[in-house]
Amino acid sequence: MKVLIGNLLISFVLVELFSMLYLTVCQKDLLEIEVDPTYLSASLEDQFDFRPDPGGPHLIDTLYPWTTWHPKNSDFRQVGPCFDVLMHYNELGSRGRLPDPEDNATVVFLGDSFIEGFGLEEDSIAAGRFSQCLGLPVLNLGCSSLGTTQMSLLYEHFSKQFRHHAVMTFLFLENDFEDNDRLRFETDRFKPFRNLEECEYGAIAYTGDPLSSKWSWAAFEHQRNTHFKRVKRLGIKSVLSQSPERKMECFLNLFYSRRLFGFILSSFKGNQNLPQEIDHSDDDWKILLMDIEAISKTALGRGARPFFTNLPSKIAVEYLRAAPENLAAYQQFESELQQAVAERGGQYFSFLSFLIDRKTDPNQLFFDCDNHYSNYGNELLTEFAVQIEQEFGCGFRHPSRRPF
């Protein structure tokens, strides 16, 4: 028996070593969990016409607790294999022209890098096109690497400064679920997450160190962070408070061989990855619902209508094309999401259904060289948003503009 156990242990160690070498040398992408936000990936050589922040000595106002907002009054060049654009951030830190704070015709666009306008000029992104089409002012609160928890905080903060009659939240659940989970989103960034421990269920907790984090643009002052609850990433208490399936997931993720086995298994299945809309956990769903409720509550409190949609990813498109029954499964998820949004005072609209009704090939949404929406993808997204505003908004429209 001892010999058998010894042989098994030696075999496991050899498999683990082989898996580690193979993944770190041949399949580095499988080990990458996070991609730098667009405004952090720009090098000093790619920075243009930098102007100091007039509101303080730092690039980012240290009152922003999530430390993921853009540096104000600055320009960065974003370069990829199929795009090369200059991204300007105004005096608020957003892209595009700022609306009059007292203009109730304003529409807020809330989302991640897809709404920020990854790889596109300002007049080509959905927020800019929407404003040009209807003549309505738009506040673009799109920012790379945000999950729905950070979106809810971002909207709560800036909604106080601008009157608006509607907020359109563009979910991208392919990575929002992961961005919301402090156990999967492995980062040194000082970042807020929802706490799922029973004693403080749903409360905001922060990971990372605001003073030493490589993601912090500014050296945070101690007195501004005294009320923040800190959690230790992957700490024992944090792991033990999770569901049994999450505890097992945390344990298995410690081993390289588990990741290699998953890679081999997916290869035999024809490389069909399940989209996160289908393959999410109960905790993922609970966090999403809390964030939807927070956004809706903030909007309704400001007299604005909360609209929601989910943007299909490339993985979702591949999943839908793989088998006819997959569409029914995806639509069932959207039906459940629509009901959950309605129960929290918002309205959900399916961008996927819009594309199907329009008989558009979803593959045309994306850049050839990147998984973000292309110029054409943003054109379709604008048409979809315009349709929502015209049918369910408050009737605001500049008389000189025509809809699509």
Closest CA to 386 of 363, 360, 356, 354: 354
Which pLDDT score is estimated for 65?
A: 43
Q: Which CB contacts under 8 angstroms, 24+ apart, belong to 44-51?
A: 46/76, 46/77, 46/78, 46/79, 47/74, 47/75, 47/76, 47/77, 48/75, 48/76, 48/77, 48/86, 49/74, 49/75, 50/74, 50/75
Which pLDDT score is estimated for 6?
A: 86
Model confidence at 198, pLDDT cuts 50, 70, 90, reads: low
The residues near 88 (Cβ < 8 Å, ≥ 6 apart) are 74, 75, 95, 122
Model confidence at 382, pLDDT cuts 50, 70, 90, reads: very high
Given a cut of 70, is residue 235 above it in pLDDT? no
The residues near 10 (Cβ < 8 Å, ≥ 6 apart) are none
Which pLDDT score is estimated for 35?
A: 31
Which pLDDT score is estimated for 3?
A: 85
Which pLDDT score is estimated for 247?
A: 67
CB 119, CB 370: distance < 8 Å? yes
Average pLDDT over residues 299-303: 97
CB 237, CB 229: distance < 8 Å? no
Question: Position of tokens 């980062």?
Answer: 187
C-alpha dihedral over 252, 256, 259, 260, to 10 degrees?
A: -140
Regarding predicted confidence, which is higher, 29 or 35?
Answer: 29
Question: Position of tokens 């303080």?
Answer: 56
What amino acid is encoded at 50 in this protein?
F
Average pLDDT over residues 332-360: 95
Regarding predicted confidence, which is higher, 139 or 230?
Answer: 139
Model confidence at 68, pLDDT cuts 50, 70, 90, reads: low
Q: Order of strands, edge to edge, in the sheet holding 107-111?
A: 138-142, 107-111, 166-171, 305-310, 347-348
> What domains can be seen in the chain, in order of their start residue?
38-243+281-392 (3.40.50.1110)
Q: How far is CA 72 from CA 52, 78, 108, in A?
A: 8, 17, 19
Given a cut of 60, is residue 279 above it in pLDDT? yes
pLDDT tens digits along 253-264: 667 787 777 667
Model confidence at 202, pLDDT cuts 50, 70, 90, reads: confident
Q: 138 burial class (0-12, 13-18, 19+ CB within 10 angstroms)?
A: buried
Given a cut of 90, is residue 124 above it in pLDDT? yes
Q: Which range, 28-37, 64-73, 358-367, 390-399, is most confident? A: 358-367
Model confidence at 372, pLDDT cuts 50, 70, 90, reads: very high
Q: With H, G, I as helix, E, B as strand and everything else as coil, classify residue 74.
A: strand
Q: How far is CA 343 from CA 194, 304, 338, 347, 392, in A?
A: 21, 17, 9, 9, 18
Given a cut of 80, is residue 307 above it in pLDDT? yes
pLDDT tens digits along 136-164: 999 999 988 889 998 998 899 899 999 99
Model confidence at 187, pLDDT cuts 50, 70, 90, reads: low
Given a cut of 50, is residue 36 above it in pLDDT? no
> Average pLDDT over the chain, rounded to whole?
77
